[in-house]
Amino acid sequence: MVQQLQGTSLESRVARLQELQKEAPADIIERFEKSLEMSWVYHDSALEGVVYNKEELHQAIIVQEPPSDSSALPAYDEIRNHLNAVALVYELTQKKRLNISLDVIKKIYARLAPEELEGKAQPTYRKDMPLHRLYFHEIAPPEKISYRMRQLVQWMNATETKRSTHAVRLAAKAHHQLLHIYPFPRQSGKVARLIMNLILLRQGYPPVVIHATQRQRYYDALKTSDDAVARLITEALGATVESTINYFAGGDEEEE
């Protein structure tokens, strides 16, 4: 799989996508970005077992004003928090030099769960083993979280890792390891996928949104190995590149 990742096919299609995006009119770019936000929030949340309807997504992403119905406020706040975390990832993508530090990971989590910052300088790691959760793979006991997070950050930022590990592989493994550490009491899945996309975006790739229909396969991959996760991510990335090329080319370009 590593040879496939490092082959010219994916890289050439990403280069083609970048060309099309540079040439696209501003209104087309804006429509695409709103569509991407809808898809990102919908599918990423569905992986967590939370399914938003079109009205909830439209209110939070297009209208951007709190709903008059107070019962709809929790969904609105969750979606807006998710979008704020995505916006932070894009901000970090633009930095010339960036190490994905513990501070960066905690800042992303704080955007997803701002209530965790109340009265604290930074959010803290979980302190117990959750009894009920969607992910059924093994996770780190609380006393091991800090050590394993430091190990992961050191590995991600090591010169040798960046030199010898393809960006897609690095992103997939970082995502896999973060979910096996499961550092936060909630939102760890979203944090892991945002870190994955931060790595991909900084290397010029589009973000990967794992489709809700792949939910069971995704869970199975997490329980299997980082190779299984990498295969799923690679397929999702390829599909994203081709569908986005088709979007900007107006359907005129045949898929390779």
> Can you give the residue ranges of every domain in the chain?
2-118+138-248
Instruction: Annotate the chain with DSSP letters as a single string.
Output: -HHHHTSHHHHHHHHHHHHHHHHS-HHHHHHHHHHHHHHHHHHHHHHTT----HHHHHIIIII-S--SSGGGHHHHHHHHHHHHHHHHHHHHHT-SS----HHHHHHHHHHH-GGGGTT-SS-----S--SS-S--S----HHHHHHHHHHHHHHHH-HHHHHHS-HHHHHHHHHHHHHHH--SSS-HHHHHHHHHHHHHHHTTPPPP---GGGHHHHHHHHHH-HHHHHHHHHHHHHHHHHHHHHHHTTT-SPP-
Tell me the average pLDDT across 243-248.
93
- Range 80-92 average pLDDT: 97
Question: Does the pLDDT at position 227 exceed 50?
Answer: yes
CATH code for 2-118+138-248? Answer: 1.10.3290.10
Of 43-52, 57-66, 109-118, 244-253, the least confident: 244-253
pTM: 0.91
